[in-house]
Amino acid sequence: MLRQTATTLACAIALTFVVPSADAADTTTRGPTIEVTARRESTAIDASLAAVHVIVRAEIERHQAGDLLELLRSEVGIDITRSGGVGQATTLFLRGSNSNHTLFLIDGVRVASANSGLYDLAHLPLANVERIEIVRGPRAAFWGSDAIGGVVQIFTRKVDGFAGRIMAGKYGRLGTDVSFGGQGEHGEMSVTFGQEQTDGFSATKETAYGFDPDRDGYENNHARVNIASSIGEQMLRFVAQGTQAEVEFDQGVTDAENASAMLSIEGAIADRWTHRLDLGHSREDLDTPAYFGAFEARRSTLDWHHQYARNDATTLSGGLNFARERGAEFETFGNTAVFATRRHNAALYAGVAHHAGAHDLEFTGRYDDSSVFGGETTVQAAWGWRFADTTRLRASFGQGFRAPSLNELFTPGYGGLFAGNPALQPEQSDTFELGLHHDFNGAHGLELSAYRTRVDDLISFSGGALYQAINIARADIDGVELEYNGRIGAFSITANATLQDAENRDTRLDLLRRPGRKGNLSVDYRFDNGASVSTEVFGSGTRDDFNGTLPGYGLLHLIGNLPFGDRWRVGLRIENLLDRDYEVLSGYNTPGRGAYLTISYGE
């Protein structure tokens, strides 16, 4: 497969070199967008030594996506699965790593469940999202556990004035959101309330266990608040968001409540010295009456990050982190606890970034001390070389680890089967990466990334006759990513291709639910009055699942946006225009062709 990968990339690069010059626009499509996730501090994307993409609010509005799955599906390096329609369980695989190998942050707060180690993207509404930063590749030296495949950080919205939206479409889908806020000399405030519901369709196929042909609907209520005030040279901010969802499935209903909150203060301590102190909290509550089971997970964190510019060329950074987690599982029939436990983790990290002419260097190290498994050390090193005004090469090495979840450590299992193991050690990884970026004619950009990841001590429920959790599995993941952004007159074009080989090192079988190839092409035409028409083409190759190999598939979407009046806009998104029948999970249905109309004000 890697030989075919090389051929495909060579053709793609050759085509890019013959892209015509921009006729009506000479601004670069890869501007000096700022991201803060890769190093925990503000960095221009063009200067970052990591593979980073930022999705801003304007792109979210143009995309007209109904949820995070549709927005992230087309991103390079990302594979997403969902067990049915809107609101059903959704998981993300970044760079071929496991679904619990991506660190999810909302406003800097870890939101993955302490029990399962997973974050369900299904319940976070796009109305709450201001921007999304996606960092591909390990970031454990900066963020600690989970960041093996990368980090996805979601920043909640700030609204100045009033904004509202109503959306309606196929499967009885209806959503409304209202936002209001204001900004002044000494602070700002923004609040959002919303609700969404859908009648849905049957999540499962006839071949699935416990199949019921009824519709599996979904309802979501959500709220968000973002308040900030300046205190001298410091900025004090409080951000909180929460969702309450009801998810129907064949055997019953699951009630899911998720919330996160963050209180921070940041600013200058002295000349060239800044800091940020975050106090965060996240929680998850799941209740499934049909199974007489309920889960609770809580996490409280403290992060204190410091940055000191020694001179114009060298910046020192570092900080400390403390986290306390607790989780529990209850049998609601007898109102008894199946298990209840807690743990804590403390960490220190420090790094240096140095700029010398055409070269940039970074090094960061971190030490974590867990109350369960002891100490874990990770390092990150990167080098960048701008050997021409328009061309930059980068190389990096990063280590990663994932702490066992509370379920993997302490669950008693089912009659002793699939029980946890308190002696588990963290999963560990090493990743090497090379990247090349080149700008053509100031209006076309090409980014090429190649990586090699080795993961050891993967946790598998395969120990002994009762299938206890043990550290035994290993994985090899090799991949290449190609991204193109360009503008030709009124046309904006984005395209990407992901080629990956993710397999079990011992069995040499492909890891499940991760295609070897996927690609996306988006073409947007903008009229003089601000209206736009877009087409999106998405394609995915074959991938293995528990019941065999699923065929590849392709999707075509059409999107239109029309502004009118004072701050009004109407949008139309037609998904799966060709009404393709496809599967992303074996035994689960996917939506057919559907139209979704949005009318918004102030966005």
Identify the pLDDT of residue 29. 37
> Which string of DSSP letters, residue by residue, matches 384-397?
EEEEETTEEEEEEE
261/281 Cα distance (integer angstroms): 5
Q: What is the pLDDT of residue 415?
A: 82
Model pLDDT for residues 169-194, shown as the tens digit of each residue: 999 999 999 999 999 888 999 999 99
Query: What value does the mean pLDDT take over residues 92-98?
Result: 97
The three-state DSSP-derived secondary structure of 252-299 is: EEEEEEEEEEEEEEEEEEECCEEEEEEEEEEEEEEEEHHHCEEEEEEE
6 confidence band (pLDDT: 50, 70, 90) = very low
What per-residue confidence (pLDDT) applies to 355?
A: 95
What's the pLDDT tens digit per position in 531-543? 999 999 999 999 9
So what's the pLDDT on residue 27? Answer: 35
Q: What is the percent of the chain with per-residue pLDDT over 90, rounded to a whole number? A: 84
pLDDT of residue 573: 97
Please give the structure tokens belonging to residue 424.
């588990």
Under 8 Å between Cβ of 242 and 225: no
pLDDT score at 358? 96
Mean pLDDT calculated for residue range 519-536? 96
Q: Which pLDDT belongs to residue 118?
A: 94
17 or 112, higher pLDDT: 112
pLDDT by residue (tens digit) across 115-157?
Answer: 999 999 999 999 999 999 999 999 999 999 999 999 999 999 9
Cα 519–Cα 522–Cα 525 angle in degrees, nearest 5: 170
Rounded CA-CA distance 91/417 in Å is 25
Q: What is the mean pLDDT of the chain?
A: 92
213-234: per-residue pLDDT in tens?
A: 999 999 999 999 999 999 989 9
| pLDDT band at residue 414 under the 50/70/90 scheme | confident
In whole angstroms, give the CA distance from residue 132 to residue 547: 34
Q: Which residues contact 535 (CB under 8 A, 6 or more apart)?
A: 522, 523, 556, 557, 558, 559
Task: Let me know how many helices (H) and strands (E) the chain has, helices first.
Answer: 5, 33
- In the prediction, which pLDDT does 441 show? 82
Confidence of residue 510 (pLDDT cuts 50, 70, 90): very high
Whole-Å CA distances, 426 to 9, 82, 379, 409, 455: 35, 27, 16, 11, 11
Question: What tokens were used for 18?
Answer: 């013959």
The 10s digit of each residue's pLDDT in 241-298 is 999 999 999 989 999 999 999 999 999 999 999 999 999 999 999 999 998 999 999 9
Q: Which domains does the chain have, with CATH numbers?
A: 20-601 (2.40.170.20)
Joined together, the tokens standing for residue 262 give 């963050």
- Residue 575's pLDDT band, with cuts at 50, 70 and 90, is very high
Q: How confident is the model at residue 5 (pLDDT cuts 50, 70, 90)?
A: very low
Q: What is the pLDDT of residue 432?
A: 98
pLDDT digits (tens, 9 = 90+) for 311-323: 999 999 999 999 9
pLDDT band at residue 9 using 50, 70 and 90 as cut-offs:
very low
Q: Is 559 in contact with 571 (CB distance < 8 Å)?
A: yes
CA torsion sign for 12, 16, 18, 23 is positive
Residue partners of 247: CB distance under 8 A and separation at least 6: 87, 88, 89, 122, 216, 218, 253, 254, 255, 256
Q: In the chain, what percentage of residues exceed pLDDT 70?
A: 95
Read off the pTM: 0.93
Instruction: Give the N- to C-terminal CA distance of the chain in Å, as an integer.
Output: 44
